[in-house]
Structure 1
Amino acid sequence: MSEAGPRRIWLCADDYGISPGVNRAIRQLLTMGRINATSVMMVGPAIGRDEVKALTAAADSQPGAAIGLHVTLTAPFYPLSLHFAPLAGGMFLPLAKKLQSSLLRRYDREIVRAEIAAQLAAFKEAFGRLPDYVDGHQHVQLFPQIRDAFLSAVQRAAPRAWVRQCGRNQALTRRLSQPKALLLDSLSVQFRARAHRAGIAFNPGFAGAYDFGQTSDFGAHMRGFLDGLPDGGLVMCHPGYVDQTLISLDPVTDQRERELAYLAGDAFARLLAEQQVRLS
């Protein structure tokens, strides 16, 4: 062990509430101590009382585990507030149109803030407390206009929560080879600046973005994610058991089971020890 001691990071499983199979996988990894945070979709179909109770028990079994709100503003999910716009068939816009509309400044910030506030209120009602942190499904918290509404809602309703930024700590040459992550880097610059001005804490480093559409070695990805991640940094992941609910809502299916298998296995435990990383 180095004199500086181990790095302590957040390993956060996104999408609790999207389906029973995803929920079960996340609770399994929490209980095993293989993740230490999960982000909850309050607009998901699998976030009833029993699922909330089971998640709370799993998190309580691991001291320091965090439960956050996964603000969701993209299809195929529906808003909680009454006057959210624009919508398509009553649902939020798909991701590409959401980003395009935000870049063109087509949103009313107060309407977006009201929806995020409604999701924060739903979390508080379900869990009996405010979230430990707040992030966004498909990284919507980083988008222009939405980021201002997001930070305003968090500052008002959950001022002690930290928020997720998605900028990495890697050499430029490596970043240029990963277009998706490069976009997140770019969007995170202004997000961090605005969060800092608002006095809202955020993670100092981020990793976890890769092409979910390709069959790939998640263990190799995880090794890369940990490379250069600072103390207090965050790695997102998407473990889950595939079920019909998930298939009907999200294109990321089989890759979730590959992530789950790796995170629950011995190779991941060895990597954490080798890299002197602790989930804390």
Structure 2
Amino acid sequence: MTDATRRIWLCADDYGISPGVNRGIRELIERGRLNATSVMVVGPAIGRDDVRALQEAVATGPHCAIGLHATLTAPFHPVTMHYRPLRDEQFLPLGKMLRAGLLRRLDPEMVRAELAAQIAAFAKLFGRPPDYVDGHQHVQTFPQVRNAFLAAVKAGAPNAWVRQSGRIRPLAQRLDMPKAVLLDTLSAGFRKRASRQGITFNPGFAGAYDFNKTADFGVLMAGFLAGLPDGGLIMCHPGHVDDVLISLDPFTDQRAREYAFLASDAFPRLLDAQRATLAA
């Protein structure tokens, strides 16, 4: 590795959402194609066997961080008994959760308690706190959630870093990406709060794209890597599609395409061409 080579985090989200996704993530870890994965403790596929298999994959492959994928959106259920608001005993859907935060209709203490319980559940499963904490559907950056999130991390995983979801690029370079603009805006406040509390976060972020469109993931990955600083993070969602995933998430075929590219010889060639390597 030369001095000009960037070390990046490539993080597979959603370990625990389904057996097929879990298997795909483990296979990529064992091949050295990922160096981080985020675990959903509220997912249906996070039993002791799933935890043990992940620990074995990490132990036999190159270094891979294991984090908590804090979850506060449907179709998942809270860990704590008294968490509100709910819809049909599940967390609110993404849009309603963001709206509730913007309108200051959430109870920050209730949110903090739920996130603290998820951190504790992770520690019970893995025998230690998470290496880092991020949020499913970027919920950690939402108004009223971000302060509760950072407080829960500082108390329950004081040595963990957290994910910020802003690319930190000039506005003119991202006006054609509405989702990225929203994430940049939400993440700016999140970064300020994390800095004030002395909590470390990734200096750059990439990986957001329109999941409703068929896209060449290799082309997307090249764009994600372009301009990403040393220590930056790319989120991804690889996995094998199964009935459990189909029942929970519309993001299916895209996961298979991501897996296929990351498992291919084209991926390490792209890293070399972009002068990037997975952080150790």
TM-score by length of 1: 0.98
Instruction: Report the Cα distance in structure 2 between the residues aligned to 1:150 and 1:201, rounded to whole angstroms.
Output: 14
After superposition, residues 1-280 of structure 1 pair within 5 angstroms as: 4-280=3-279
Instruction: Report the Cα distance in structure 2 between the residues aligned to 1:36 and 1:188, rounded to whole angstroms.
Output: 23
1:260 positional shift: 0.2
1:170 positional shift: 3.0
1:269 positional shift: 1.1
Q: Does the 8 A contact of 1:169 with 1:230 survive in 2?
A: no
Instruction: Report the Cα distance in structure 2 between the residues aligned to 1:112 and 1:256, rounded to whole angstroms.
Output: 29
Query: What 5-or-longer segments of structure 2 have no aligned partner?
Result: none
Instruction: Report the Cα distance in structure 1 between the residues aligned to 2:181 and 2:231, rounded to whole angstroms.
Output: 21
1:36 positional shift: 0.5
Q: Does the 8 A contact of 1:12 with 1:36 survive in 2?
A: yes
Instruction: Report the Cα distance in structure 1 between the residues aligned to 2:157 and 2:13, rounded to whole angstroms.
Output: 19
Secondary structure of the structure 1 residue equivalent to 2:174: helix
CA displacement 1:125-157 (0-9 Å, x = unmatched): 000000000000000000000001000000111
1:60 positional shift: 1.6
Q: Does the 8 A contact of 1:169 with 1:228 survive in 2?
A: no
Amino acid of the structure 1 residue aligned with 2:204: G
Amino acid of the structure 2 residue aligned with 1:235: I
Instruction: Report the Cα distance in structure 1 between the residues aligned to 2:170 and 2:21, rounded to whole angstroms.
Output: 33
Q: Does the 8 A contact of 1:132 with 1:162 survive in 2?
A: yes
TM-score by length of 2: 0.98
Query: What 5-or-longer segments of structure 1 have no aligned partner?
Result: none
Q: Does the 8 A contact of 2:30 with 2:62 survive in 1?
A: no
Amino acid of the structure 1 residue aligned with 2:80: S
Instruction: Report the Cα distance in structure 2 between the residues aligned to 1:169 and 1:257, rounded to whole angstroms.
Output: 29
Instruction: Report the Cα distance in structure 2 between the residues aligned to 1:39 and 1:192, rounded to whole angstroms.
Output: 20
What root-mean-square deviation, in Å, do the aligned CA atoms of Structure 1 and Structure 2 show?
Answer: 0.9
Amino acid of the structure 1 residue aligned with 2:90: M
Instruction: Report the Cα distance in structure 1 between the residues aligned to 2:149 and 2:102, rounded to whole angstroms.
Output: 16
Instruction: Report the Cα distance in structure 2 between the residues aligned to 1:200 and 1:111, rounded to whole angstroms.
Output: 22
Aligned residues: 279
Instruction: Percent identity, please.
Output: 67
